[in-house]
């Protein structure tokens, strides 16, 4: 059995250890950072198909703090630590060339990872809030890491909006605590089941959900994302789009809705409609962009819409589709941001009009961009196809064929947007393309290429995870969400 606190202790420990030891020796932050994320990846893979409730200090809930590992947290742990390992690997050369102060970078990075690990493992609301804040504050700093005016502005906006969200959450937690006298999620759920629901609880619900919707960047709570994600260094953008919005946003919303407040028709409708709006608005905005990273950021809004539609449908198939899309999105979106990082690393630009004919000079970056673009557009046999297929199937099966049609339209628009990216950057050339610059281009260094290849292959083959459908590898995850609130209460508190 894995010691769950390790997921928090290791990154936090190393985060403070790096600045202490590595002021003189240059290679220490790289080695320590990568080693940590690699160990965390291994640990997270070991949690597969395990369920465990860890009582810190041996104190039983509701009085002690608990860490809960179940199918959903396991899925998120794997996503967080896989992508963070890829991002740190990519960072070795990328940060070296473009930024200074690697030790601060790795410290903040590991704080963010530790915060997210804590968020997805935490079994009580207040710890969840604290971990979320740690991860958020680290990410505010990382967004502004380049210290240029636009980056600081983006970071400031992110900080303000993020803090508004955090305050909503804190207020919501406080209200729930005042009402129930407990902070343990399972215990709060138990008490809420016993007392008649009133507007105070509903208000707390609105505040919590609103706050976390800001974190997950659903329209109309999305405005911070298109500024924040492109401004960060590429590996951080990959983390933000690939992981942070899911661990701090989607995951918590799922946990609260399915395991605390209980799922109902109204919630389902709200999630679906907000999902559809995000899906379409995000992609329409993306179509107009010529800044590659900004375009990708808008697609994150759109793809999160798919995840919410899937989860909002609420049937096992819908949840499977939503969660699988969440997993797939983390792979292809982080790959796309890393690709944009490699392109920026070599060409020095994010403007699609200045790029061109990269397939001749940067073959691996080009092929991974192609793979990721086909994945996000839902073209078979890549993973995005399978999750979209399941979401559409689930929507039709639950009698929501109009929603399915919107998903189809969103998918076509996504394809349009990514064929545009491929047209300007890889196969064709933009209007401001310069031949002299292009001739000097070459493929990025090996440590940056490796994560691109790994993620591309994952995009190609993770479609196979769907074998078995709702009874397959995702069964335990679906079980967490599909099962009633009671099931979670029993698991954490013991029946």
Partner 1 sequence: MEKIIISVFSIGFILGLICRLIPSRIKYIKEIIGGFASVFYLFFSISLFKTSSYYITEIFLIDQFSIFISIFISIFTLLTLIYSFSYFENFENSNRYYCYILWTLTCSVVAVFSNNLILFSVFWGMLAITLYLLLNISGDENAYPAKKSMIIVGGSDSFLIFGICGLIYLTGKYTITDMKIFIASGLEIGIFFALICASLAKAGCMPLHTWIPEISENTPSPILAYLPASLDKLLGIYLFSRILLNMFEYQIDLHSGLWFILRLIGSITILCAVLMAIVQHNMKKLLSYHAVSQVGYMVLGISTNLPSGIIGGLFHMLNNAIYKSLLFFGAGNVENKTKIVELEKLGGIGRFMPITFFTFLIGSLSISGVPPFNGFFSKYLIYQALFQGAKDGNFEWLVWIICAMIGSALTLASFLKIVHSVFLGHLKEYKEKISEVNFSMLLPVIILSLLCIIFGFGFIYPVKIFENSIGIFIEKGYSFLIPTLTLIFVSLIFGFIVFSIFMINIKKARVVSSFVGGEKRLEEMELSGVEFYKTIEKERFFEKMYQGARKKIFDLYEDFKRIIFYFGEGIRATHTGVLPTYLTWILFGCIVLFILFMKF
Instruction: Indicate the SS3 state at residue 63.
Output: coil
Can you tell me the distance from the alpha carbon of 259 to that of 132, in angstroms, rounded to the nearest whole number?
18
Of the candidates 181, 231, 230, 175, the residue with the CA atom closest to the CA atom of residue 207: 175
Token digits of residue 335? 């790959």
Q: CA distances (Å), 252 to each of 94, 121, 405, in order? A: 32, 11, 28
Using the rule CB under 8 A, which residue among 226, 305, 310, 341 binds partner 1? 226
Q: Cβ of 63: how many Cβ atoms within 10 Å?
A: 10
* Nearer Cβ to partner 1 (420/491): 420
Shortest distance (Å) from residue 53 CB to partner 1: 30
* Nearer Cβ to partner 1 (191/396): 396
Token digits of residue 141? 């700093």
* Nearer Cβ to partner 1 (105/308): 308
Shortest distance (Å) from residue 393 CB to partner 1: 4
* Nearer Cβ to partner 1 (25/198): 198
Shortest distance (Å) from residue 428 CB to partner 1: 3
Asked whether position 209 contacts partner 1 by CB under 8 A, the answer is yes
Using the rule CB under 8 A, which residue among 2, 39, 396, 465 binds partner 1? 396
Strand partners, 122: 67
Contacts with partner 1: how many residues (CB under 8 A)? 62
Site string for partner 1, 8-47 (x = CB under 8 A): ----------------------------------------
Asked whether position 378 contacts partner 1 by CB under 8 A, the answer is yes
Shortest distance (Å) from residue 462 CB to partner 1: 15
Asked whether position 408 contacts partner 1 by CB under 8 A, the answer is yes
Q: CA distances (Å), 189 to each of 7, 64, 107, 478, in order? A: 26, 16, 36, 19
Using the rule CB under 8 A, which residue among 111, 116, 247, 374 binds partner 1? 374
Range 370-384 burial, b when 16+ CB lie within 10 A, else e: bbbbbbbbbeeebbb
Asked whether position 376 contacts partner 1 by CB under 8 A, the answer is no
Of the candidates 234, 367, 394, the residue with the CA atom closest to the CA atom of residue 308: 394
Asked whether position 165 contacts partner 1 by CB under 8 A, the answer is yes
Task: Tell me which stretch binds partner 1 (CB under 8 A): 28-36, 174-182, 333-341, 403-411.
Answer: 403-411
* Nearer Cβ to partner 1 (108/301): 301
Shortest distance (Å) from residue 384 CB to partner 1: 11
Of the candidates 437, 299, 307, 453, the residue with the CA atom closest to the CA atom of residue 369: 453
Can you tell me the distance from the alpha carbon of 287 to that of 214, in angstroms, rounded to the nearest whole number?
23
Can you tell me the distance from the alpha carbon of 68 to that of 163, in angstroms, rounded to the nearest whole number?
26
Asked whether position 132 contacts partner 1 by CB under 8 A, the answer is no
Asked whether position 457 contacts partner 1 by CB under 8 A, the answer is no
Task: Tell me which stretch binds partner 1 (CB under 8 A): 28-36, 41-49, 304-312, 376-384.
Answer: 376-384
Asked whether position 415 contacts partner 1 by CB under 8 A, the answer is yes
β-pairing, 66-69 with 52-55? antiparallel
Q: CA distances (Å), 376 to each of 90, 292, 365, 411, 412, in order? A: 21, 15, 16, 8, 11
Task: Tell me which stretch binds partner 1 (CB under 8 A): 84-92, 116-124, 223-231, 323-331.
Answer: 223-231
Range 180-190 burial, b when 16+ CB lie within 10 A, else e: bebbbbbbbbb
Q: Which residues bind partner 1 (CB under 8 A)?
A: 156-157, 160-161, 164-165, 168, 199, 202-203, 205-207, 209-210, 213-214, 220-221, 223-224, 226-227, 266, 270, 281, 284-285, 287-288, 356-357, 374, 377-381, 385, 388-389, 392-393, 396-397, 401, 404-405, 408, 411-413, 415-416, 419-420, 422-424, 427-429
């Amino acid at each position: 059995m894995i010691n769950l606190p390790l997921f928090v202790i290791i990154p936090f420990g190393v985060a403070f250890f790096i600045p202490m030891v590595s002021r003189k020796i240059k290679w220490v932050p790289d080695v320590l950072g990568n080693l940590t994320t690699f160990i965390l990846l291994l640990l997270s893979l070991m949690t597969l198909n395990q369920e465990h409730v860890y009582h810190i200090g041996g104190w039983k809930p509701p009085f002690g703090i608990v860490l809960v590992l179940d199918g959903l947290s396991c899925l998120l742990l794997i996503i967080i630590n896989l992508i963070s390992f890829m991002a740190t690997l990519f960072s070795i050369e990328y940060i070296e060339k473009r930024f200074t102060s690697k030790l601060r970078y790795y410290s903040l990075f590991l704080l963010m990872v530790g915060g997210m690990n804590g968020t997805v493992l935490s079994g009580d609301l207040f710890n969840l809030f604290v971990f979320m804040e740690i991860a958020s504050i680290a990410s505010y700093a990382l967004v502004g890491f380049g210290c240029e005016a636009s980056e600081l502005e983006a970071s400031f906006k992110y900080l303000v909006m993020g803090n508004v969200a955090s305050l909503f959450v804190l207020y919501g937690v406080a209200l729930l605590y005042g009402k129930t006298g407990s902070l343990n999620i399972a215990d709060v759920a138990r008490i809420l089941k016993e007392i008649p629901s009133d507007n105070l609880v509903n208000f707390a619900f609105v505040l919590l959900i609103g706050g976390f919707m800001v974190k997950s960047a659903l329209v109309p709570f999305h405005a911070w994302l298109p500024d924040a994600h492109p401004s960060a260094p590429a590996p951080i953008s990959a983390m933000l789009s690939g992981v942070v919005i899911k661990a701090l946003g989607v995951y918590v919303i799922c946990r609260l809705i399915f395991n605390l407040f209980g799922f109902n028709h109204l919630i389902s409708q709200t999630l679906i409609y907000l999902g559809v709006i995000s899906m379409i608005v995000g992609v329409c905005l993306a179509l107009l962009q010529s800044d590659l990273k900004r375009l990708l950021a808008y697609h994150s809004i759109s793809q999160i819409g798919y995840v919410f539609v899937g989860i909002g449908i609420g049937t096992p198939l819908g949840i499977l589709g939503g969660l699988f899309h969440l997993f797939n999105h983390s792979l292809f979106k982080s790959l796309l941001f890393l690709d944009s990082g490699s392109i920026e690393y070599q060409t020095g630009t994010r403007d699609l009009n200045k790029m061109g004919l990269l397939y001749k000079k940067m073959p691996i970056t080009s092929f991974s961009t192609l793979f990721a673009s086909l994945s996000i557009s839902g073209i078979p046999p890549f993973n995005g196809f399978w999750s979209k297929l399941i979401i559409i199937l689930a929507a039709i099966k639950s009698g929501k064929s109009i929603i399915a049609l919107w998903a189809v339209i969103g998918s076509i628009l996504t394809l349009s947007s990514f064929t545009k990216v491929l047209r300007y950057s890889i196969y064709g050339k933009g209007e401001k393309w310069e031949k002299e610059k292009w001739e000097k281009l070459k493929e990025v260094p090996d440590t940056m290429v490796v994560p691109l290849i790994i993620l591309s292959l994952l995009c190609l083959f993770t479609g196979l995870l769907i074998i078995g459908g709702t009874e397959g590898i995702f069964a335990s995850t679906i079980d967490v969400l599909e099962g009633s609130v009671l099931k979670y209460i029993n698991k954490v508190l013991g029946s």
